[in-house]
Amino acid sequence: MKLDKKKIANILIVVSIVRIALEIATFFQAEWQLNSPLIPKSTIITIIRPYLLSALISTILLIPALIFYFFNKYVITYIFCGFILMFTYFFFFFIFNLLPQMVYSCLSRESRGEANQSFHQPVIKKYR
C-alpha cells in the first residue's frame, strides 16, 4: 500500500488537531477537577497554565500548516505538523523536568553568593 503526499499530510493534520484537542481537554479537566474552595485560584492557574500555553502555541503552528496544505505544499505541511507534535512533548519535558532543575541551580548559586558571576569571567578573589 503506497501512501501519497496528500494522504500523509491528511494524517499529520488530523493527528495534530487531535493532539491540540487533547491539550484543551486536559486544560478544562484539570481546571474542573481542581475547583475547590480549599485550593486558591492562583494555584489552579499555575497548574493549568502550561496546558493552555501548549495548546495555544500548537494552534498557532497549525494555521500555517493548513494554509500550506490548501496550497498543495505538502512537505512544508509535514514540517509544521512535525513541529507541533514535537513541541507538545518537548514543551512538557522542559517545563516539568529541566526548568525546575535550572531554577534550583540558580537558587543554590544565589545562596552561595555566585549569582552575579558570569561563566565567561574569571573569578578574582581579593586576599588581604
Q: With 0.85 as the threshold, say if the pTM is over it.
A: no
Q: Residue 57 in contact with residue 89, Cβ under 8 Å?
A: no
Q: Which of 22-36, 69-83, 84-98, 111-125 has the lowest mean pLDDT?
A: 111-125
- pLDDT for position 19: 93
Distance CA 66, CA 53 (A): 20
Distance CA 91, CA 58 (A): 11
pLDDT digit string, tens, across residues 36-59: 888 888 888 888 888 888 899 999
- pLDDT for position 110: 52
Which grid coordinates belong to 51? 496546558
- pLDDT for position 103: 62
- Listed in sequence order, the residues at least 6 apart from 76 whose beta carbon sits closer than 8 Å to its beta carbon are 65, 68
Distance CA 54, CA 24 (A): 9
List the helix and strand counts (H, then E) for the chain. Answer: 4, 0
**What is the residue extent of each domain of the chain?**
5-112
Quick check: 68 pLDDT over 80? yes
Average pLDDT value over all residues in the chain = 81
Distance CA 109, CA 107 (A): 5
Q: Which one-letter amino acid corresponds to residue 119?
A: F
Instruction: Provide mean pLDDT across the span 121-127.
Output: 56
Quick check: 124 pLDDT over 90? no
